[in-house]
Amino acid sequence: MNIEMIRAAAERLKGHARETPLLSSPFIDHLAGRRVLIKAECLQHTGSFKYRGGYSAVSALPDDVRARGVIAFSSGNHAQGVALAATQHGVPSVIIMPADAPRLKIENTRALGAEVVLYDRATEDRDAIGAAMAEARGLTLIKPFDEPEVIAGQGTTGLEIAVQARALGVEQADVVVCCGGGGLTSGIALALEAEAPGLRARPAEPEGFDDTARSLASGTIQRNAAMTGSICDAIVTPSPGHLTFPIMQRLCGPGLVVSDAEALRAMAQAFLRLKIVLEPGGAVALAAALNRRDQIGGDAVIVVASGGNVDIEMYGAALATLAQ
């Protein structure tokens, strides 16, 4: 895993991934106590950065392998990213989802061209189902984060940040990244190391699911006690990956941890001041910039707003915080 892979991914993504804008607002700056630049990855195709990794992985496959199709386990953003990338390459994709996943996510993934296979969480083994399908059809598994070409794709976000931040005169800053398994965080960290060494990646996580923060603090991979119980479902993973953790350990500053309520309030500020739609898991980095100012140094901070796939009930709860 190295910067050349990220640069190669950027070449493959050219004309496909969107170069998302780096937004700002004087009102956000005021709340955060420093200049804040927000990388709006919610505006990426399929509504999250996951399209970058999905496209990178699918495009990196040898033609004959790719032609047989790809498979992914996901009920969320990774599913949509892989589905769209496969469709754009004209190859089949199979997405394994729990039968109780939100109907809209199932429909969206199908509409993007995937074959969605549902399984019963209580009685069926998704890995066995996936392995059998992959074997029978010769499908290639696209893992959500612990996969070099996925990390390379997510890292292209960091290449863009390096250029955009420099154009705005920001060369020394923390770059706060919403962190699940660490694919986005480690990819960005590698890109910044090469292209903007004054910028340092820092993972942001929800309370109770701060496996990466604890792993960085202890120096060994730590796991979360639970896999449910946060509204930030998009970034809840068991632990950082075996590929992503060593990169984060070498390059990232300490993890930042925010509450669900802080994530909701950050979503509301993004609505009010930036005019972008964020999901809870996509808002934790902004929440950290707004609420953990003592744990962040420097005159400016860069925030990756990583996704916007949120249902209207949750969004209503976020906007309701403005009326308080």
170, 274, 283, 300: which one binds a copy of itself (CB under 8 A): 274
Applying CB under 8 A, does 128 fall inside the site for a copy of itself?
Answer: no
CA distance 95 to 156: 24
In the sheet that holds 70-73, the strands lie side by side as: 115-119, 93-98, 70-73, 140-141
Applying CB under 8 A, does 297 fall inside the site for a copy of itself?
Answer: no
CA distance 226 to 173: 33
Binding window for a copy of itself (CB under 8 A); candidates: 1-9, 53-61, 108-116, 200-208 = 108-116
Nearest alpha-carbon partner for 212 in 278, 296, 146, 299: 146
Applying CB under 8 A, does 316 fall inside the site for a copy of itself?
Answer: yes
4, 11, 14, 26: which one binds a copy of itself (CB under 8 A): 26
Give residues 44-63 in contact with a copy of itself (rule: CB under 8 A): 47
CA distance 109 to 36: 33
Give residues 70-89 in contact with a copy of itself (rule: CB under 8 A): 84
What SS3 class is residue 278? coil
Applying CB under 8 A, does 18 fall inside the site for a copy of itself?
Answer: yes
For residue 89, give both structure tokens.
């390459």
> Judged by CB, which is closer to a copy of itself: 66, or 273?
273
Burial class from Cβ neighbours inside 10 Å (0-12, 13-18, 19+) for residue 225 reads exposed
Binding window for a copy of itself (CB under 8 A); candidates: 24-32, 141-149, 154-162, 180-188 = 24-32
142, 150, 201, 276: which one binds a copy of itself (CB under 8 A): 276
Applying CB under 8 A, does 271 fall inside the site for a copy of itself?
Answer: yes
For residue 184, give both structure tokens.
């986005």
Work out whether the CA dihedral 74, 78, 84, 87 comes out positive or negative. Answer: negative
> Judged by CB, which is closer to a copy of itself: 101, or 270?
270
Residue found under tokens 């020394």: 172
CA atoms within 13 A on the CB side of 26: 0
Applying CB under 8 A, does 170 fall inside the site for a copy of itself?
Answer: no
Binding window for a copy of itself (CB under 8 A); candidates: 66-74, 123-131, 192-200, 276-284 = 276-284
Q: C-beta of 47: minimal distance to a copy of itself in Å?
A: 5
CA distance 171 to 316: 37
For residue 17, give both structure tokens.
């991934």
Binding window for a copy of itself (CB under 8 A); candidates: 22-30, 71-79, 95-103, 236-244 = 22-30
Query: By the criterion CB under 8 A, which residues form the site for a copy of itself?
Result: 18-21, 23, 26-27, 30, 40, 42-43, 47, 84, 108, 111-112, 271, 273-278, 308, 312, 315-316, 319-320, 322-323
